[in-house]
Amino acid sequence: MNRRTIKVFLRDHWLLLAIWSLALILRIIVAIISKGYIHADEQFQSIEIVFRKIFGYGYVPWEFQRGIRSWLYPGIVWLIFKTMLFLGCTRIETILIAVRLFSAACSMITVITSYFLGKLFFSKRVGLIATFFVAIWFDFLFWSARTITDSIAMNFAILGVYFFARLLKKRQKKGSAQIIPRKPLVFEAIHGLLAGFAFGLSFMFKFSTVILAIPFLVFLFIERRWKGALFSLLALCCMVLVQGLLDFYTWGGFLQSPIEFFMYNIWTGGSSAHGVSPFLAYLPLMLDAYGEYFMLFLLFICLGIKKDRLSLYLLLAVLFYFLVFNLIGHKEYRFILPIMALLVLFAAKGVLKYPSFIHKKHFQKQIYGFLAIVTVGFSASYAFYFYSFQPARQYCDAFQFVGEQEESEVLLVASLGAFFSPGYTYLHKNIPVGYFRKSTFNYFMTEFQTNNTYIIIPESEYIPNFQFYQDSFLHFNITLVKIFHGTHPRFDEGMYVFKNNL
């Protein structure tokens, strides 16, 4: 590629490259400033289990006792941990930045693919709007830095959707003659294999995301794209085989983790033990995630729905995925992340369509500008006030503080249990940890009254039971050591750290 070609490329694509550069910069910043975890799975399904593998102590969640999870992502985290330790990084905060940067790099797949999907389904301008929204919207930024398999698997699912959509795209017409690819078999083979491999990776990170591939495979057969469908199934089966071999090496059973996952969550309905939500509970979860902007987002989605064959297939795939997950009793917003990125495509089309209702052309640019400002404004305000990029930060800081105290011999935490805490990863000290409630506090203190014991009590537990703890502290000669003030009422409450005086 000569210098003139590069100049022409930059001139024609400067806006797109600027959006992608902004997306990358924002994700790097979020990966650096993020701390803590939004869900126990984010901490214990990857970070804690790897910490135990490397340092020899830490909690083992029940999923890794039963063999219900793939070791793919923990294996990647293990490599990152080992690399950072080799480079001399010992503080967990620094190591976890590298892990989050890996997640952020994966999230760029969705940012970039959103442009090509929007361009494929609708137009180049729709692609630009879609990639801009995914690049700057706080929800995509937040999940881009999470150390959880859901937010990584979604990126490969979106990539798989793109290759499936390429196979489903009608051949263009010029006059009465169709423009047929010179090598249609090669085209279908390449795109089918890429779709299968992408969904295969998505499956390996999060088994349930492969559900999104089912409607597209059906559409390929409806459209008689036999070769594309067969090649995609071949690639998907190869990735399932890889998962089976990985399970055989790590768990001792071929395809143990997806089989156990299906048996527990679907066949026996074990997921209901973690909470049951009513049908269509994902709608309020989406409203909760997007706040007041959700109504505007929903309006644009409705405006963006088209009756053409390809966009109808996309809508049906989204509805199929949405329906399947609504039929499952246990519901969490992170489970539907893949279709949130696909809904952005319809919303982007709606944004492009909305000003067309205004007959005065000179008002249309102002409307686009206003919508962009509103979107950026909502995203920024939610990022700093509604959401938090540092969930449970004070909890993690409190654990880290206790672990850094040389005299600490025991840690007691007012919590429902180990898997509601930051775990040994942040404590980074192999000492006994007890989890108490108000009724068992005095028992634990009597048990460990001869040890240098630190006590962590969340603000929500300490303030309502202030008198009880004051009386107990007086009896056991316990004093306040440090307060970690909360930064967010919903995601990051304050933590009080106490210590007994021997």
Mind giving me the DSSP string for 448-468? TTTS-EEEEEEHHHHTTTHHH
Cα dihedral 75, 80, 82, 84, rounded to 10, equals -170
Chain centroid, CA 87 distance in Å: 28
Cβ(434)–Cβ(456) under 8 Å?
no
Cβ(22)–Cβ(134) under 8 Å?
no
Measured distance CA(145)–CA(35) in Å, rounded: 9
327 and 216 within one domain: yes
Global confidence as pTM = 0.92
Q: Which of 421, 325, 355, 378 lies closest to 47 in space, CA to CA? A: 421
pLDDT band at 148 (very low <50, low <70, confident <90, very high): very high
Angle between helices 184-205 and 149-168 (to 10 degrees): 160
Residue where one domain finishes, among candidates 339, 363, 386: 386
Cβ(208)–Cβ(154) under 8 Å?
no
pLDDT band at 175 (very low <50, low <70, confident <90, very high): very low
With pLDDT > 70 as the criterion, what percentage of the chain qualifies?
93
pLDDT band at 179 (very low <50, low <70, confident <90, very high): very low
Q: What mean pLDDT do residues 456-476 have? A: 95
183 and 119 within one domain: yes
305 and 429 within one domain: no
Residue where one domain finishes, among candidates 386, 401, 419: 386
Query: What separation in angstroms does the CA of 6 have from each of 10, 14, 17, 202?
Result: 6, 11, 13, 34
375 and 410 within one domain: no
334 and 452 within one domain: no
417 and 274 within one domain: no
Supply the mean pLDDT for the chain.
91
More confident residue, 235 or 360: 235
Measured distance CA(193)–CA(160) in Å, rounded: 10
Number of Cβ within a 10 Å radius of residue 385: 10
Number of H helices, E strands in the chain: 23, 7
Give the contacts of 203 (CB within 8 A, at least 6 positions apart): 153, 209, 210, 236, 239, 240, 243, 258
Q: What mean pLDDT do residues 336-356 have? A: 89
Q: What mean pLDDT do residues 150-164 have? A: 97
Q: What mean pLDDT do residues 207-229 have? A: 95
Q: Considering only 108-117, 382-391, 439-448, which range has the smallest mean pLDDT?
A: 382-391
Highest mean pLDDT among 2-11, 24-33, 163-172, 486-495: 24-33
pLDDT recorded at residue 12: 74
pLDDT tens readout for residues 376-387:
898 988 887 766
319 and 281 within one domain: yes
Q: From its phi and psi, is residue 404 left (phi > 0), alpha (psi between -120 and 50) or beta?
A: alpha
Cβ(135)–Cβ(111) under 8 Å?
yes
Q: Which of 490, 299, 497 lies closest to 388 in space, CA to CA? A: 490
Q: Is the pLDDT of residue 133 over 70?
A: yes
Q: Where are the alpha helices (DSSP H) in 382-499?
A: 393-404, 423-427, 441-447, 459-462, 466-476
404 and 345 within one domain: no
Specify the number of domains making up the chain: 2
Q: Is the pLDDT of residue 38 over 60?
A: yes
281 and 184 within one domain: yes
Q: What is the CATH number of the domain that holds 451?
A: 3.40.190
pLDDT band at 182 (very low <50, low <70, confident <90, very high): low
User: Could you tell me the two tokens for 245?
Assistant: 């071999």
pLDDT tens readout for residues 385-424:
766 788 999 999 999 999 999 999 999 999 988 999 999 9
Tokens 């017409």 -> residue: 173
459 and 316 within one domain: no
For residue 233, give its domain range: 3-386
Highest mean pLDDT among 110-114, 184-188, 267-271, 490-494: 110-114
Q: Is the pLDDT of residue 484 over 80?
A: yes
pLDDT band at 190 (very low <50, low <70, confident <90, very high): very high
Query: What separation in angstroms does the CA of 1 have from each of 12, 20, 57, 80?
Result: 15, 22, 53, 35
What are the backbone angles phi and psi of residue 177, rounded to the nearest 5°? Answer: -100, 140
Measured distance CA(285)–CA(271) in Å, rounded: 18
367 and 463 within one domain: no
DSSP reduced 3-state for 405 = coil
Q: What is the DSSP pairing of strand 173-174 with strand 177-178?
A: antiparallel
Q: How far apart are the first and last CA of the chain?
A: 74
Q: Considering only 7-21, 36-50, 138-152, 238-252, which range has the smallest mean pLDDT?
A: 7-21
Chain centroid, CA 369 distance in Å: 30
DSSP reduced 3-state for 88 = coil
Measured distance CA(45)–CA(365) in Å, rounded: 47
Measured distance CA(301)–CA(344) in Å, rounded: 8
pLDDT recorded at residue 161: 97
Which 8-state DSSP code applies to residue 275? -
DSSP reduced 3-state for 501 = coil
Residue where one domain finishes, among candidates 357, 386, 415: 386
What are the backbone angles phi and psi of residue 68, rounded to the nearest 5°? Answer: -105, 0
Q: Which three-class secondary structure string do you get for 215-256?
A: HHHHHHHHCCCHHHHHHHHHHHHHHHHHHHHHHHHHCCCCCH
Q: Is the pLDDT of residue 74 over 60?
A: yes
pLDDT band at 178 (very low <50, low <70, confident <90, very high): very low
User: Could you tell me the two tokens for 300?
Assistant: 């644009």
Q: Is the pLDDT of residue 209 over 90?
A: yes
Measured distance CA(149)–CA(99) in Å, rounded: 12
Q: Where are the beta strands (DSSP E) in 172-328?
A: 173-174, 177-178
Measured distance CA(456)–CA(405) in Å, rounded: 14
433 and 369 within one domain: no
